[in-house]
Amino acid sequence: MELLIKGAALSLLTRLGSYLSKQNTEAYVVGGFVRDRLLLRDTADVDITLKGNALEIAPGIAVALGGKYVLLDKVNRVGRVILAKEDDTGNWQLDFSTIKDNIEKDLGRRDFTVDAIAISLDKLVKGTITAEFIDPFGGLKDIQDKLIRAVSPMAFEQDAARLLRAVRLAAELGFAISPETEELIRRSCHLISDVAAERVREELLRLLAIADSGKLWLYLDDLGLLTTLIPELGQTKGVEQPREHQWDVFHHSVKAVEAVDFVLRRGSWQHAGKEVLDYVPWSAELAGHFGLKVSGGSTRRLLTKLAALLHDIAKPQTKCITTEGRTRFLGHAKEGAPIAAAILERLRFSTREIKLVEAVVRYHLRPAQMSRDELPTPRAIYRYFRDAGDGAIDTLFFSLADHLATRGPDLDMANWQQHACVVEYALNQHFKRESVTAPPKLINGHDLMKKFNLSPGPKIGQLLEAVREAHAAGEVSSGEEALSYAARLLTLEKENPSP
């Protein structure tokens, strides 16, 4: 195989090689950079292992190349240097580790054979390398065969985060995990519980970032990883649903993840063609919305997919059979929201991430409930955006994905068109008429207290909310009309006091 380094990467490695040569430090480029360059994939992450203490050498490299040094692991002597790219398109991330014995033994401690290939930095900067790889575990052949294979039977005991990384790496590269490594993952899946939650979160987000990834979650489950990480999902397996559902709760949830990618134009849907997608509203503005960063490594698209996985998490405990023999899950959305939040707190997701997922889970039934056979009223749209808040748009699109994951191949096009029409109408009202979903204040609490001689208390907030809703519905449009509306409400309350 041929490894070709050119352009900015060659310039960077040449500068680095020159510095290390002056320090009489032997260095090897290893891991993902070698693998990705062999696959003609661009990468800004470079792993370098040194014959010398990386914690002593890396700070000097940062100074010499004009970068920033970050200590990663004092015990194992691993440091990072971050350098701005010359074309201002981001940063280079150089991770320096220390060779403990020799390069071959160092490679033997790595995760997968495709990452256990090294090449001398001195030779790499010469340009094209064809025959000087250090490849003691057959990584080059595994790259050609598109296989992810553990370097040793101890790979996952040494670092259990590799269990998720194996699946993610295979999906990203379009590779398969070798049968023996699959079996090793199944035997070792319980170890994932011991991995720091922050590392699990990072791997989950990278898995969610893979487009068209519905089958990926079934694969994680087959390997024993999914329900080890989220035991609550295990309780949804085999929970039957009403006849309009194609799948049990667990498989419906996985299908919903796949359907989110479909409605957001990031994947396919095997149960319907493009004509189904034609009814789903889309624009550059919506694409930008779902691409917005929420927290480190997460976007609205990724978190909507995560909400899809968890949206029916409370169905097992809310299942009941009516006197007519119908299966119902009363209150499952409301009960599921705090369960989803607790799962994400356990996995160290941020408060903002948790609130967004919680909103989608809590309100995922509301879009379909806004209207049945006609367009929703301004009041209904106002109430929906008021309640769903920051997750309102995300929940609208998830409701479409949930619809697809419910009906599967038995999708009724008339019902689908009506649902999509409601979503589009609500979005249009939101984007074009903010007075409907977020009307400006016509009066405040002081106005009410002064006009009607009221004392501070919950009544003031209730009146203000009623006025805002009437404003959204077009029933009032000025401060004077708002006060008159409040007066009518107070009169009705006096005439019909609550029991």
% of residues, the chain, pLDDT over 70 = 96
So what's the pLDDT on residue 176? 97
Average pLDDT over residues 427-438: 72
The per-residue pLDDT for 215 is: 86
Binning pLDDT at 50, 70 and 90, where does residue 472 land?
Answer: confident
Residue 434, pLDDT above cutoff 80: no
- Count the alpha carbons within 13 Å of 298 in the hemisphere toward its beta carbon: 26
What are the structure tokens assigned to 466, written together?
Answer: 């009623």
The pLDDT score that the predictor gives to residue 498 is 62
> Which pLDDT band holds residue 323 (cuts at 50, 70, 90)?
confident
Residue 127 pLDDT class (50, 70, 90 cuts) = low
Which amino acid does the sequence have at 174?
Answer: G
Is the pLDDT confidence value at 130 over 70?
no
For the chain, the straight-line distance linking the first and the last C-alpha, in angstroms and rounded, comes to 83
* CA angle 309–314–319, rounded 5-degree value: 125
With beta carbons less than 8 A apart as the criterion, state whether 479 and 442 touch.
yes
- Give the Cα separation of 55 and 73 in Å (integer): 9
Structure token pair of residue 247: 């799948």
Q: Could you give the angle at the alpha carbon of 401 between the alpha carbons of 327 and 420, nearest 5°?
A: 105
Span 283-306, pLDDT tens digits = 999 999 999 999 988 999 999 999
Q: Is 30 in contact with 117 (CB distance < 8 Å)?
A: yes
CA distances from 61 to 15, 22, 65, 95, 129 (A): 10, 12, 6, 11, 25
How, if at all, do strands 91-98 and 45-50 pair?
parallel
Task: State the pLDDT at residue 128.
Answer: 53
- Over the stretch 63-111, which tens digit does the pLDDT of each residue have? 999 999 999 888 888 999 999 987 777 889 999 999 988 999 999 999 9
Q: Which of 257, 132, 264, 260 is nearest to 204 (CA)?
A: 257
What pLDDT is stored for residue 451 in this prediction? 82
User: What's the confidence (pLDDT) of residue 471?
Assistant: 77
Beta strands (DSSP E) in 208-361 are 293-295, 298-299, 319-321, 327-329
Burial of 136 (0-12, 13-18, 19+ CB in 10 A): middle
Q: Cα separation of 475 and 442, whole Å?
A: 12
Cβ contact 125:13 at 8 Å:
yes
Which pLDDT does position 435 carry in this prediction?
54
Segment (H or E) for 302? helix 300-310
Location of structure tokens 């006849």 = 243
pLDDT at 258: 95
Please give the pLDDT value at position 27: 93
Instruction: Give pLDDT tens digits for 329-340.
Output: 999 999 999 999
Cβ proximity of 216 and 223 under 8 Å: no
Question: ∠219-223-229 over CA atoms, to 5°?
Answer: 95
Integer Cα distance of 227 and 220 in angstroms: 9
227 vs 478, more confident = 227
The pLDDT of residue 379 is above 90: no
Q: Write out the two tokens for 44.
A: 């800004």
- How many CA atoms does the CB half-sphere of 263 hold within 13 Å? 31
Distance, in Å, from the CA atom of 199 to the CA atom of 310, rounded to the nearest integer, reads 20
Mean pLDDT of 1-8: 77
Q: Say how far apart CA 39 and CA 305 lie, in whole Å.
A: 29
Report which listed range, 44-58, 177-191, 476-490, is most confident. Answer: 177-191
**Pairing of the two strands 147-148 and 176-177:** parallel
CA-to-CA distance for 287 and 301, rounded, in angstroms? Answer: 9
DSSP state of 389: G
Q: Which two tokens stand for residue 415?
A: 């019902």
CA distance 53 to 97: 8
Sign of CA dihedral 85, 87, 88, 90: negative
Measured torsion, CA atoms of residues 413, 414, 417, 421, in degrees rounded to the nearest 10:
-170
* pLDDT of 164: 97
**7: CB partners within 8 A, 6+ apart:** none
Distance, in Å, from the CA atom of 344 to the CA atom of 357, rounded to the nearest integer, reads: 9
Tens digit of pLDDT for each residue in 135-187? 999 999 999 999 999 999 999 999 999 999 999 999 999 999 999 999 999 99
